[in-house]
Amino acid sequence: MLRCSSCQAYLCMSLQLAFDLSNYKERCEELRKALSTAHEKFCFWPDSPCPDRFAKLLVDEPRVLLQDFLDRFQSLCQLELQLPSLKPEDLKNMSLTEERITRLLQLIGEELEHKGTEGEKPPGKFSTEILQVHVPACILALCGWTCSAASGSVNLSVITCSRCMRKVGLWGFHQLDCAAAPEPDSCGSGSSVPPVPTSPRRMLTRSQDPGAEQDTSLRSFFHPSSQHRDWCPWVSTGEGQESLEDAASQTEKEPGKAEPGWEVVLKKLLGIQKCDTAPETEPVSLSEKSCKVFRIFRQWESMNSS
């Protein structure tokens, strides 16, 4: 049951179980039209609905995309080791390569250094321990997730999408603090990466989470895109995701090449990073440190498949 906040009109949105697909689609179309026609006579909403852009990503405004991306990233970093462990196979299927993620981390570091954000370090000084948090935070922020605001005194690990309003409790998934100890470094230094310690925040929320001691083998890996609702612009490949400058070349694209919203945003962000950063000034130490993190991902993948 829906109610208009202005004219107070009610609309029943029930869908009867239909075995005939055509009848089901007709009913859906009737309900779609009723969203406009069910208002009272003098209600302003039918004549002045919200713009379509409210349900779309602002891909024509790269700097706005970047700022929103940074805000989500910093919000997710507050969860520290409560962030989910991401399955390398899922990242591979999403074409989120080490090179792409490293470039995003460089962009984040450069922007935070430029803004002089307190508590953030330049990209060339990222430590391995920090990267173990920054990598999943970067991927989740890219896919539209942000840390949900705490409710009262309860401070649980919940992330949310502001577009489809999906909320996900991370205690039901593999988390960083439950991950296996990493294997020895293979980037040439010969040293091993120390196990990730349990954060004080995680120790606190364990006492608030009644299922914290459940068997971790029953947990699944969090998938950054599939956890959204199907119609969410972050994963939808429907109309309106392309930018204005790409509209002219849209006819040249082959059918079936539509991209989800997060991938469109990724290309925009990488375009910013490519324009703002000269190749010769790329920090070498970040690539070396991120190599260790991705080696950890590959170890988790091999242990999960065995």
pLDDT at 242: 44
pLDDT band at 238 (very low <50, low <70, confident <90, very high): low
| Segment 10-23 mean pLDDT | 81
pLDDT at 85: 92
pLDDT at 23: 84
Q: Is 271 exposed, middle or buried (0-12, 13-18, 19+ CB in 10 A)?
A: exposed
pLDDT at 21 exceeding the cut of 60:
yes
* Highest mean pLDDT of the ranges 53-62, 110-119, 167-176, 272-281: 167-176
Helical spans, DSSP H, in the chain: 21-37, 62-77, 88-93, 98-115, 128-142, 200-208, 244-247, 261-276, 284-305
pLDDT at 294: 66
pLDDT band at 20 (very low <50, low <70, confident <90, very high): confident
| Segment 114-129 mean pLDDT | 56
More confident residue, 221 or 295: 221
| Segment 35-45 mean pLDDT | 92
| Segment 234-262 mean pLDDT | 60
Closest residue by Cα to residue 53 from 195, 193, 219, 239: 239
pLDDT at 277: 53
pLDDT at 90 exceeding the cut of 90:
yes
Q: What residue spans define the domains of the chain? A: 2-49, 62-236+257-305
pLDDT at 196 exceeding the cut of 60:
no
| Segment 257-281 mean pLDDT | 78
Write out the two tokens for 49.
Answer: 């609905």
| Segment 32-54 mean pLDDT | 88
How would you classify the pairing of strands 10-11 and 2-3?
antiparallel
Write out the two tokens for 204.
Answer: 């606190």
pLDDT at 207 exceeding the cut of 50:
no
Angle between helices 284-305 and 128-142 (to 10 degrees): 80
| Segment 279-302 mean pLDDT | 58
pLDDT at 217 exceeding the cut of 90:
no
DSSP codes, 7-76: T--EE-------S-HHHHHHHHHHHHHHHHHTS-TT-STTTSPPPGGGGS--TT-HHHHHHHHHHHHHHH
| Segment 264-285 mean pLDDT | 70
pTM for the whole thing?
0.68
| Contact criterion met (CB below 8 Å) for 195 and 181 | yes
Measured over all CA atoms, what is the biggest interatomic distance in the chain, rounded to whole angstroms? 75
| Segment 70-88 mean pLDDT | 93
Average model confidence (pLDDT) for the chain? 76
More confident residue, 44 or 202: 44
Q: Amino acid letter at 171?
A: W
Cα distances from 156 to residues 109, 204, 216, 255, in angstroms, run 27, 9, 18, 43
pLDDT at 15: 79
